């Protein structure tokens, strides 16, 4: 029994350390040893910007003003808004911009995948840019986004999503989300230097029109669409100077529900593109995809195992005691950060970041259970912060 406990402890610790330490180090080493530069140029391909939305009356006007103010040739930019059965003022507000060339697609409620596919069928440009209704682009975002497409080996480009400081968001949501995206931005830089990023964020990315394939329901569309570029033999690279700004969810509860939805759909997306997990065909990208999108989602199993085994082995040496005490301290900080998220105490990163870490892993557990139970999430109500309509993007 003791041997089994120690073996389980070692395996759990090794997997956790691999996910959070060794995997990033491997990416960094690969980027340093095997560089694959991208040939960029100031090109101006025709672009169709696609915005799928449902009941986005709070942010859609500001979004369209933002699109029309972008530093990109007007005659080369088509703006398509696909309304997925909106029953608020979204369609009325979008229709006011039709005189400016914005095209509105009024669609019955069917989920984002159906709306996205319908919008792409109406797109007539060489490049598709995908965005969210609450993502505001920097003026030169599209110019920066399409530069890497001057390289014929590049099929898609992921932009840089940055979160805006928001007084209405809890510290756990804000600090945790910003810390995660700072880490994700670092990973994308390393991945892009040596090959392809794992996937793009839905806030800002583009692909060549010829590489788009219909998105099935129940998956994360940005993952399936962007990773599909790699599946077709092209590179998906990162453009850190193509910037979009977005607010975090207003509360930890809203952020938790969003993460459960995204992770459930993300795991289904990996199943949809499971051929990418074949290292004999896709090389190191397969390890990258498994480590980032599969192992990280299942890490809650090994985190629980590490906590339990280290506590059971408390009397067998100082090392076990240090590991156990560190976890108890970290999870204790997470509890404080969760319970006192709106207070002065909750603003300390010592508490807010562990609270976000635990929330993300619990969301991953529920998403995994959703996948095992066969639960699909096709349609949902957006959760937006009222601050969206007034706050300015400051990082």
pLDDT > 60? residue 332: yes
pLDDT > 50? residue 244: yes
Percent of the chain scoring above 90 in pLDDT: 76
Q: Does the domain at residues 1-389 carry the CATH identifier 3.40.50.150?
A: no
Rounded to an integer, what distance in angstroms lies between the CA atom of residue 359 and that of residue 172? 9
Taking residues 209-219, what's their average pLDDT?
Answer: 95
Taking residues 115-133, what's their average pLDDT?
Answer: 96
pLDDT at 387: 38
Taking residues 129-155, what's their average pLDDT?
Answer: 97
DSSP, res 342 = T
pLDDT > 90? residue 382: no
Query: In this structure, are strands 103-107 and 127-131 parallel, antiparallel, or unpaired?
Result: unpaired
pLDDT confidence tier of residue 227, bands split at 50, 70 and 90:
very high
pLDDT at 172: 52
Taking a C-beta distance cutoff of 8 angstroms, is the pair 159, 243 a contact? yes
Instruction: Give the tens place of pLDDT for each residue, 49-89.
Output: 999 999 999 999 999 999 999 999 999 999 999 999 999 99
Which residues are bridge partners to 236 per DSSP? 156
pLDDT confidence tier of residue 45, bands split at 50, 70 and 90:
very high
C-alpha distances (whole Å) from 389 to each of 58, 62, 247, 392 are: 6, 7, 11, 9
Angle at which helix 221-231 crosses helix 112-122, to 10 degrees, equals: 60
pLDDT > 50? residue 198: yes
pLDDT > 50? residue 389: no
Taking a C-beta distance cutoff of 8 angstroms, is the pair 338, 355 a contact? yes
Instruction: Give the tens place of pLDDT for each residue, 158-186.
Output: 999 988 765 555 555 566 667 777 888 88
Taking residues 263-268, what's their average pLDDT?
Answer: 94
pLDDT at 177: 66
pLDDT confidence tier of residue 257, bands split at 50, 70 and 90:
confident
Residue given tokens 């915005």 in the structure block: 51
Question: Mean pLDDT over all residues of the chain?
Answer: 90
Taking a C-beta distance cutoff of 8 angstroms, is the pair 227, 199 a contact? yes
pLDDT confidence tier of residue 388, bands split at 50, 70 and 90:
very low
Tell me the whole-structure pTM to 2 decimals.
Answer: 0.89
Alpha helix positions (H), the chain = 2-17, 23-33, 60-68, 90-95, 112-122, 141-146, 171-194, 221-231, 252-272, 279-282, 284-289, 299-312, 318-339, 349-372
Nearest 5°: CA angle at 68, between 66 and 71? 90
Phi first, then psi: give them for residue 383, nearest 5 degrees.
-115, 110
Which position has the higher pLDDT, 12 or 375? 12
The number of helices, as runs of H, and strands, as runs of E, in the chain is 14, 8
Which position has the higher pLDDT, 37 or 169? 37
Taking a C-beta distance cutoff of 8 angstroms, is the pair 102, 84 a contact? no
pLDDT confidence tier of residue 253, bands split at 50, 70 and 90:
confident
Cα dihedral sign, 368-371-372-375: positive
pLDDT at 189: 93
């Amino acid at each position: 029994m003791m041997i089994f406990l120690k073996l389980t402890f070692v395996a759990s610790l090794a997997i956790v350390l691999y996910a959070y330490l060794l995997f990033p180090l491997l990416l960094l080493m690969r980027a340093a040893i095997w560089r694959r530069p991208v040939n960029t140029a100031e090109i101006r391909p025709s672009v169709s910007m696609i915005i799928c939305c449902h009941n986005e009356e709070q942010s859609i006007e500001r979004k369209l003003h933002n699109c029309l103010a972008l530093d990109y040739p007007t005659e080369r930019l088509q703006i398509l808004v696909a309304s997925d059965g909106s029953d608020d003022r979204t369609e009325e507000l979008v229709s006011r911009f039709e005189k400016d060339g914005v095209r509105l697609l009024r669609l019955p409620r069917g989920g984002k995948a159906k709306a996205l596919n319908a919008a792409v069928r109406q797109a007539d440009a060489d490049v598709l840019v995908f965005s969210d209704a609450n993502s505001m682009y920097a003026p030169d975002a599209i110019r920066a986004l399409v530069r890497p497409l001057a390289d014929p080996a590049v099929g898609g480009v992921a932009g840089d999503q940055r979160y805006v400081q928001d007084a209405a968001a809890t510290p756990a949501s804000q600090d945790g989300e910003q810390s995660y995206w700072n880490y994700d931005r670092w990973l994308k830089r390393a991945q892009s230097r040596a090959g392809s990023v794992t996937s793009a964020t839905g806030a800002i990315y583009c692909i060549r029109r010829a590489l788009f394939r219909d998105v099935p329901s129940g998956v994360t569309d940005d993952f399936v669409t962007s990773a599909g570029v790699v599946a077709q033999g092209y590179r998906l690279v990162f453009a850190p100077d193509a910037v979009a700004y977005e607010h975090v969810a207003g509360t930890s509860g809203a952020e938790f529900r969003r993460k459960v939805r995204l992770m459930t759909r993300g795991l289904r997306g990996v199943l949809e593109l499971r051929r990418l997990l074949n290292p004999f065909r896709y090389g190191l990208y397969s390890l990258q995809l498994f480590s980032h999108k599969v192992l990280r989602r299942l890490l809650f199993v090994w985190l629980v195992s590490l906590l339990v085994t280290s506590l059971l082995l408390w009397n067998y040496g100082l090392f076990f005691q240090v590991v156990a005490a560190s976890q108890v301290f970290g999870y204790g900080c997470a509890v404080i950060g969760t319970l006192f998220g709106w207070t002065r105490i909750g603003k300390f990163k010592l508490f807010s970041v562990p609270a976000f870490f635990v929330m993300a892993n619990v969301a991953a557990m529920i998403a995994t259970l959703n996948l095992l139970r066969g639960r699909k999430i096709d349609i949902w109500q957006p959760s937006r912060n009222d601050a969206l309509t007034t706050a300015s993007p400051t990082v």
